[in-house]
């Protein structure tokens, strides 16, 4: 790792922002602080080829707001240039670790990062999450054939959809039901897949009579409540 000095606005223009990193803006308090004290804490920069056949460029891995503020004030700033070259996958993992020291990445941010790196399954996941309002934690499990390690795989860039048709069937069913929270949706999906000769029309009639009273802290409790409904 080497410490490199950049000359204000001109130096800032030689750096790139990663498309999956958090949004950044000019912050008045940061600008005010830099006016008084100058640039104090070095940013982190890596060299990478982000896209196949693309140029090798220097990307800001950490410190976007500080670099932008220094550019705005046109004052020198410093960067720790990390050793070695980084693949796109390396960059996602590195930025996630750096960001997690202050505020952990959400599953949506992980998903967006891997989608930006060309992993199409993450795009499908995010679109369904947006359209159907099901939490990504539960939706990713459903799309991975109820794999309990889906969240871990999602963060590591290894998420693969293996049961899209089955998941879509569940999501289409719940459109015909009174609103369900995420745990309810996941429990209903499990019920549908594990109950022999599941009859949706019968379940709907029973569910609509009691859905306002259905409350549970755990997913398994919802599953048991649904199971009791269809066995009545």
Shared domain for 126 and 74, answered yes or no, is: no
Q: State the first-to-last Cα distance of the chain, in angstroms, to the nearest integer.
A: 67
Shared domain for 98 and 194, answered yes or no, is: no
Tell me the pLDDT tens digit for each residue of 49-99: 888 888 889 999 999 999 999 999 999 999 999 888 788 888 898 888 887
Strands 2-6 and 43-48: unpaired
Q: Which domain holds residue 50?
A: 2-104
Residue ending a domain, choose from 80, 104, 128:
104
Q: Decide which of 213 and 172 is more confident.
A: 172
Shared domain for 161 and 198, answered yes or no, is: yes
Shared domain for 151 and 56, answered yes or no, is: no
Question: How far apart are alpha carbons 191 and 166 in whole angstroms?
Answer: 12
CATH for 79? 3.90.1530.10
pLDDT at 121: 97
Strand order in the sheet with 16-17: 2-6, 77-86, 43-48, 57-62, 16-17
pLDDT at 100: 66
Shared domain for 22 and 94, answered yes or no, is: yes
102: pLDDT confidence band, cut at 50, 70 and 90? Answer: low
Shared domain for 30 and 90, answered yes or no, is: yes
Tell me the pLDDT tens digit for each residue of 182-219: 999 999 999 999 998 899 999 999 999 998 888 888 89
- Is residue 103 scored above 90 in pLDDT? no
Total domain count for the chain?
A: 2
Tell me the pLDDT tens digit for each residue of 108-117: 999 999 998 8
Residue ending a domain, choose from 104, 127, 149:
104
pLDDT at 215: 86
Which of the listed ranges 21-30, 169-178, 189-198 does the model predict with the highest average pLDDT? 169-178
Shared domain for 94 and 112, answered yes or no, is: no
Residue ending a domain, choose from 104, 122, 150:
104
Residue 72: closest CA among 103, 113, 28: 28
Shared domain for 116 and 132, answered yes or no, is: yes
Shared domain for 178 and 204, answered yes or no, is: yes
Shared domain for 15 and 27, answered yes or no, is: yes
CA angle, 209 then 213 then 219, to 5°: 105
Shared domain for 24 and 91, answered yes or no, is: yes
pLDDT at 217: 82
Shared domain for 164 and 195, answered yes or no, is: yes
Work out whether the CA dihedral 232, 145, 112, 168 comes out positive or negative: negative
- Is residue 221 scored above 90 in pLDDT? yes
Tell me the pLDDT tens digit for each residue of 119-171: 999 999 999 999 999 999 999 999 999 998 999 999 999 999 999 999 999 99
């Amino acid at each position: 790792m080497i410490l490199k000095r950049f000359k204000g606005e001109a130096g800032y223009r030689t750096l790139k922002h990663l498309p999956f990193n958090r949004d950044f803006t000019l912050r008045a308090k940061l600008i005010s602080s830099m006016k008084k004290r100058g640039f104090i804490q070095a940013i982190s920069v890596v060299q990478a080829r982000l896209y196949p056949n693309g140029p090798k460029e220097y990307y800001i891995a950490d410190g976007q707001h500080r670099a932008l503020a220094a550019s705005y004030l046109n004052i020198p700033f410093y960067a720790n240039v990390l050793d070695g070259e980084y693949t796109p996958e390396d960059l996602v993992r590195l930025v996630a670790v750096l960001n997690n020291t202050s505020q952990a990445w959400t599953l949506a941010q992980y998903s967006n990062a891997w989608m930006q790196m060309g992993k199409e399954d993450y795009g499908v996941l995010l679109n369904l999450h947006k359209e159907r309002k099901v939490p990504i934690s539960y939706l990713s499990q459903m799309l991975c054939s109820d794999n309990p390690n889906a969240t871990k795989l999602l963060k590591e860039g290894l998420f693969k959809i293996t049961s899209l048709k089955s998941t879509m069937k569940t999501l289409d069913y719940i459109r015909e039901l009174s609103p369900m929270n995420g745990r309810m949706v996941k429990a209903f999906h499990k019920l549908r897949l594990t109950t022999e000769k599941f009859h949706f029309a019968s379940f709907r009639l029973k569910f609509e009579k009691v859905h306002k009273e259905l409350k549970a802290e755990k997913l398994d409790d919802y599953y048991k409540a649904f199971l009791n409904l269809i066995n009545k």
